[in-house]
A and B are shown apart, each in its own frame.
Chain A
């Protein structure tokens, strides 16, 4: 535990000194990606997603989330509510399938689609690839919640990316992304995401909870909480369609 804290502190100091001046954005985006990338192992957690829509009861979904960043794959299996139990997602690269255990059918979907009719997108569960997908258009110094930040505007290098333009509030001292705004191709604000707290898992950082606010549908908001994180190696077969069928048998 002590060793981990020393290593983490060391890495923050290193990061802070390296990026104290005008940032080298290619390096900075790469570093942000690395901080959340479990490139040498697997990651799993339990997700709780609570969605609020005006005039409706809160929607709660609990699911198990498995991620293998080195192969750009993730799997999500619904645990609750009961009527959705066993429904699941499999994402491999840019492809995503949804599985309905009742009809035993897969539906091809897109990372750009909303996750379970919430304010989250399927792509929110992919690993970060900011350096590969974006270039920094502009940035400014600022403060958010007392912390010194860079507010950087990123534009996608490729039209296929789920979010064409995003603005990140990046803490200068540890490079954690505190807040994001996602924009459409036409420049319209679509969503705002706040990540007030991260959890460190084996030297990597994943949000403890995040809040997503829909900018188009006023009053719609979603909180996602990641609990019971694990980096234990998962069987290869988890990241297959067969797994989603088998887990329901």
Chain B
């Protein structure tokens, strides 16, 4: 009975029904299309991060918070990111080998180094130190630019430059590096300044990847270990007498001017020194071989990267690894791509949050407009409601009638919105959205975005539809229930 009256009312007030319905349709359609596009972008980003940088699971050191493949923020805001060594690498590896659902895994070092172009200057970049034997089997996103060399071979010393780095060196430094050219890498680590010269083996690019500030290039792991000064924890404290730190101590709290005191004797020259005989410049280092050799720690790595078999959920594997690390007291942590791709991934999460906020605002605006239209409709139907009440219709019937009207509108036009949204997403998916403009490239571009309707956006659309249906009738119905039969009779 109520539904019948509701449908009849809706058909009687066609204009209002169409206005409210159109708003519902547009709202639901926009939600579905927007969420589907964002969902597809996130999915594309996750694919490119997993294939290029992080794999499905990254095992890193638990000693530094937030250490992903690009390193954790250094305490020194201007310093390069910190990339902690995975000290329990040897004990982590058997656990990874025994993990069910693993397709392949590899190990990696990350380090920042300078490419020294002599008089042409320097370029600063991020390098992934790899063992090509298993790295490219696990991480399959890199492809060699046509005519620009080849991949690193197992056991070979050399680097593969990312096309962006190669192009930057060409455009900004005027040096066009070719495969086979020697490239000098410099690094300042905990064993001082290090130099290593290796050939450029190839220039590569990722099939699809975001344009981050430091795109990684590849180097053989020995080169990166050498540059990073992975010296197995040798730490030598050089003792000096108090005079060597006197100014540091004296000015620590009082400031630099305190070193001059009040007397004019300060900054005066000390009496002329009897100069010491010059040390023999050729004997200052003592006996040959006096320098401590810096042993390379063959097993030093920053990360273990794990790819899961197609369709395998990395979540349980991460949980199982972390439980094992905790049980064994290992200084290691397994994490998914989003944690491992920080801080980049936070940007994407931010974009998604922004879009979701936009959807919520859109839903609120839709509800307010629908409510206003319904309120106006109630005002116009005062006489009708009053008459119904005078003829014995109870509040329950009036309540039910309005709820039914809103439900019908939401269901019919919401379904229309979903259908239209689905059609638009399918059309976009068929046509493909090029992501070569700056904003989209930053997000994960380089390829063609093919949006598709997935469960998530569909669920969000249904939730929004239900929310509009449930909330938008409240105020109008309360108004309708306040209409008294007397007022209805006296209203023209």
Q: What CA separation (Å) do A58 and B238 show in the bound complex?
A: 10
Mask for A72-83, Cβ within 8 A of B = 1, else 0? 000001111111
User: Judging by beta carbons under 8 Å apart, are B281 and A234 in contact?
Assistant: yes
> From residue B227, how far is it (CB to closest CB) to chain A in Å?
10
B161 to chain A, nearest CB (A): 18
Is A29 at the interface (CB under 8 A from chain B)?
no
**Residue B288, interface by CB 8 Å:** yes
Question: A50-B240, A199-B269 in contact; A66/B260 too (CB < 8 A)?
Answer: no
Contact call A217/B76, Cβ cutoff below 8 A: yes
Q: Which residue of the partner chain A has the closest CB to B243?
A: A225
Say whether A121 faces chain B, with CB atoms less than 8 Å apart: no
- Is B475 in the interface zone, CB < 8 Å from A? no
- Tell me if B196 counts as interface (CB < 8 A to partner A): yes
- A66 contacts B281, CB within 8 Å? yes
The interface residues of chain A lying within 8 Å CB-to-CB of B93 are none
Contact B195 A107 (CB under 8 A): yes
B486 within 8 A of A: no
Do A179 and B278 touch across chains, with their CB atoms under 8 A apart?
no
* Residue B116 interfacial (CB < 8 Å): yes
Question: B94 to chain A: which residues have CB within 8 Å?
Answer: none
B468 to chain A, nearest CB (A): 54
Q: A192 vs B276: C-alpha distance in the bound complex, in angstroms?
A: 31
By the criterion CB–CB under 8 Å, are A106 and B195 in contact? yes
Q: Determine the chain A residues whose CB is within 8 A of the CB of B196 once the complex forms.
A: 103, 105
Across the interface, do B272 and A230 meet the contact criterion of CB distance under 8 Å? no
Residues of chain A contacted by B191 (CB below 8 angstroms): 83-84
On chain B, the residues within 8 Å of A44 by CB distance are: 278-279, 281
**Is A147 a contact partner of B264 (Cβ separation < 8 A)?**
yes
Q: CB within 8 A of B271: which of A146, A171, A200, A202?
A: A200
Say yes or no for B435: interface residue by CB 8 A criterion: no
Q: Collect the chain A residues with CB atoms within 8 Å of residue B193's CB.
A: 87, 98, 100, 107, 116
Q: B268: which of A58, A174, A217, A232 is its contact (CB, 8 Å)? A: A174
B190 to chain A, nearest CB (A): 8
Interface assignment of B119: CB less than 8 Å from any CB of chain A: yes
Interface status of A15 (Cβ within 8 A of chain B): no
Interface centre among B238, B259, B267, B273, by most chain A C-beta atoms within 10 angstroms, is B267
- Of the residues B78, B273, B278, B291, contact of A82 by C-beta under 8 Å: B291
Q: Is the interface of B mostly helix, strand, loop or mixed?
A: loop
B294 contact set on A, CB distance < 8 A? 83, 102
B226 at the interface (CB under 8 A from A): yes
B236, CB-defined interface residue at 8 Å? yes
Q: Which residues of A contact B292 (CB under 8 A)?
A: 82-83, 85
- Known contacts: A107-B116, A197-B270, A209-B243. The answer to whether A81 contacts B186 by CB under 8 A is no
Q: Is the CB of A145 within 8 A of B238?
A: no
The answer to whether B118 has its CB under 8 Å from any CB of chain A is: yes
A79 touches B282 (CB 8 A): no
* Complex CA distance for A102 and B261, rounded to whole angstroms: 46
Among A83, A197, A223, the residue within 8 A (CB) of B266 is A197
Contacts of A192 in B (CB 8 A): 256
Number of interface residues of A (CB under 8 A): 87
Interface string of B245-278 (1 = CB under 8 A from A): 1111001000011011111101111111111111
A200 to B267, CA, bound (A): 12
On chain A, the residues within 8 Å of B234 by CB distance are: 83
The answer to the question of B244 belonging to the interface, with a C-beta cut-off of 8 Å to chain A, is yes
**A42-66 toward B: CB 8 Å interface, digit per residue (1/0)?**
1010101010111101101110101
User: Do B236 and A77 have beta carbons less than 8 Å apart?
Assistant: no
Asked if B492 lies at the interface with its beta carbon under 8 angstroms from chain A, I say: no
**Residue of B with least CB distance to A66:** B281
Please, how many angstroms separate the alpha-carbon atoms of A229 and B279 in the complex?
A: 10
Q: Is B98 an interface residue (CB 8 A)?
A: no
Within 8 A of A (CB), among B210-244: 226, 229, 231, 234, 236-238, 240, 243-244
B197 contacts partner chain A, Cβ-Cβ < 8 Å: yes
**Is the CB–CB distance between A103 and B197 below 8 Å?**
yes
Which of these, B184, B262, B270, B277, contacts A107 with CB under 8 Å? Answer: B184
Q: In the assembled complex, which residues on chain A have CB atoms less than 8 Å from the CB atom of B261? A: 145-146
Q: How far is the CA of A245 from the CA of B244 in the complex (A)?
A: 29
Q: B413 to nearest A CB, angstroms? A: 59
* Residue A243 interfacial (CB < 8 Å): yes
| Interface status of A4 (Cβ within 8 A of chain B) | yes
Contact between A8 and B272 (Cβ–Cβ < 8 Å)?
yes
Q: Give the residues in chain A near B256, CB-CB below 8 Å.
A: 179, 192, 194, 211, 213
Measured CB to CB, the closest approach of chain A to B229, in angstroms, equals 8
CB-contacts of A1-27 with B (<8 A)? 1, 4-5, 8
Q: Is the CB of A145 within 8 A of B262?
A: yes
Question: Is A139 in contact with chain B by the CB < 8 A criterion?
Answer: no
Q: Is the CB of A235 within 8 A of B285?
A: no
Q: What B residues does A46 contact at CB under 8 A?
A: 279
Q: With a CB–CB cut-off of 8 A, which chain B residues contact A4?
A: 272
A196 contacts across to B, CB distance below 8 A:
247, 259-260, 266-267
Instruction: Give residues 189-233 of A contacting B (CB, 8 Å).
Output: 192, 194-203, 205, 208-211, 213, 216-217, 221, 223, 225, 228-232
Selected A-B contacts with CB under 8 Å, 15 pairs: A103-B226, A105-B184, A116-B193, A146-B266, A179-B256, A195-B267, A197-B270, A200-B270, A208-B270, A211-B251, A221-B251, A223-B245, A223-B246, A225-B243, A228-B279
With A230-B277, A234-B281 known, 4 other A-B pairs at CB within 8 A are: A77-B284, A194-B256, A199-B273, A247-B284
Smallest CB-CB A-B distances: 10 pairs = A145-B260, A232-B278, A84-B192, A60-B238, A82-B292, A100-B195, A85-B291, A211-B247, A230-B278, A105-B195
Please give the residue numbers on chain A whose beta carbons come within 8 Å of chain B beta carbons, in ascending order.
Answer: 1, 4-5, 8, 42, 44, 46, 48, 50, 52-55, 57-58, 60-62, 64, 66, 77-87, 98, 100-103, 105-108, 116-117, 144-147, 171, 173-174, 176, 178-179, 192, 194-203, 205, 208-211, 213, 216-217, 221, 223, 225, 228-232, 234-235, 238, 243, 246-249
Binding site for A on B (CB under 8 A): 75-76, 78, 116, 118-119, 184, 186, 188, 191-197, 226, 229, 231, 234, 236-238, 240, 243-248, 251, 256-257, 259-264, 266-279, 281-282, 284-285, 288, 290-292, 294
